[in-house]
Amino acid sequence: MTTLSGRLLKTVAVLAIVVWSLGPIVLGVLTSISTQRDVASVPSHWLPHDATTTAYHELLQGTRGAAAGGTVTEAGTFTRSMWNSTQLALETTAITLIVSTMAAYAFGRLRFRFGGPVLAVLVGTMVIPIFVIVISLFQVLADAHLIDTKRGLILVFVSTLTPLATWLLYTQVKEMPPEPEEAALIDGCRRWQAFVRVVVPQMSSGIAAVAAILVLSVWGEFLIPLLLTSTMNAKPVTVQITEYVGKYTTNYPILAAAGVLALIPPAIVALLLNKRIAGMLAGSS
């Protein structure tokens, strides 16, 4: 009796979580294959009368005039923004990983003057909200002619994400036994060779996890690129999507289609690295 009600409770809880997490996605997918008329009808119905890919076509190939009801799309802009997001995420992640893996190793293993305080200050910058510095950040980037460039955004992302990445990897370095790299030093390695050949492979599970965090963080960034970009030169998909909100009316299927497409790359990253992280954890013990 108790086990039955316990199982029932568990099932309900799991269902609630599933609905909570998948609900918006399902709703988005359904909306994206509906017509604007279906979505706008009162009472609105959840399932489209006639499933259609019009919204996707219009999103990718451009809307023709006022037919879109306030939402205007141009051919190529959405794909461009997706490409921008991809570049921003990958380049930021690569640079941040290189910097923070080396920093984490240095803070965790090497004895140098003021190592502790420097790490504390670095990690301490994580508590500063980006809103506090965003105005001065704009000034700095404007002076450096980096407004509306991917390079400028990457610079900002790398510097805001490095403390977190360094901290996460530092805790991993601290947990690793130092003997394998000492063995490598005895086996003929210089410090950097031991780092590259022995330490980094040892850290690979942590690096994969941090990589996932970085890609997802950059992909989800909105405020900073909103303020620091203005054209398709650097505008990521998160900012581009807001353009599909019309002044008077919005074509919800197009908006939803953009959302669905924007979800795919981070979902792939999460799935790929998730598998790798799980594999690493299983193999290490």
Partner 1 sequence: MSGTISLEAVTKHFPGGVVAVNELSLEVEPGEFLVLVGPSGCGKTTALRMVAGLEPVTAGQIRINDKIVTKLPPRDRDIAMVFQNYALYAHMSVRGNMGFGLKMARMPKDEIRRRVDEAAAMLGLVDYLDRKPRQLSGGQRQRVAMGRAIVREPAAFLMDEPLSNLDAKLRVEMRGEIIRVQRRIAAPTLYVTHDQTEAMTMGDRVAILRDGVLQQLGTPDEIYDNPVNVFVAGFIGSPSMNLITARMDGTGVVFDRTRVEIPPATMTGRPGLAAYTGREVVVGIRPEDFRAEDDATVELKVNRVESLGSELMAYLDGGQEGFEITARLERSAQVQEGERARLAVDRERLYFFDPETGEAIG
Least separation in angstroms between residue 277's CB and partner 1 is 16
How many of the chain's residues bind partner 1 (CB under 8 A)?
A: 19
User: Can you tell me which of 60, 133, 168, 189 binds partner 1, judged by CB under 8 A?
Assistant: 189
Contacts of 215 (CB under 8 A, 6+ apart): 89, 90, 93, 266, 269
Least separation in angstroms between residue 185's CB and partner 1 is 4
User: Can you tell me which of 13, 16, 26, 183 binds partner 1, judged by CB under 8 A?
Assistant: 183
Question: Can you say whether the dihedral through the CA atoms of 197, 201, 203, 209 is positive or negative?
Answer: positive
CA distance 1 to 217: 46
Task: For residue 175, state whether it binds partner 1 (rule: CB under 8 A).
Answer: no
User: Can you tell me which of 10, 145, 190, 275 binds partner 1, judged by CB under 8 A?
Assistant: 190
Q: Is the peptide bond before 48 cis (omega within 30 degrees of 0)?
A: no
Least separation in angstroms between residue 120's CB and partner 1 is 19
Least separation in angstroms between residue 20's CB and partner 1 is 38
Task: Give the DSSP per-residue string, 234-245.
Answer: T--HHHHHHTTS
**164 or 203: CB nearest partner 1:** 203
Contacts of 150 (CB under 8 A, 6+ apart): 84, 87, 88, 91, 233, 234
Residues lying near partner 1 in the complex (CB under 8 A) are found at: 177, 179-180, 182-190, 193, 198, 201-202, 204, 283-284
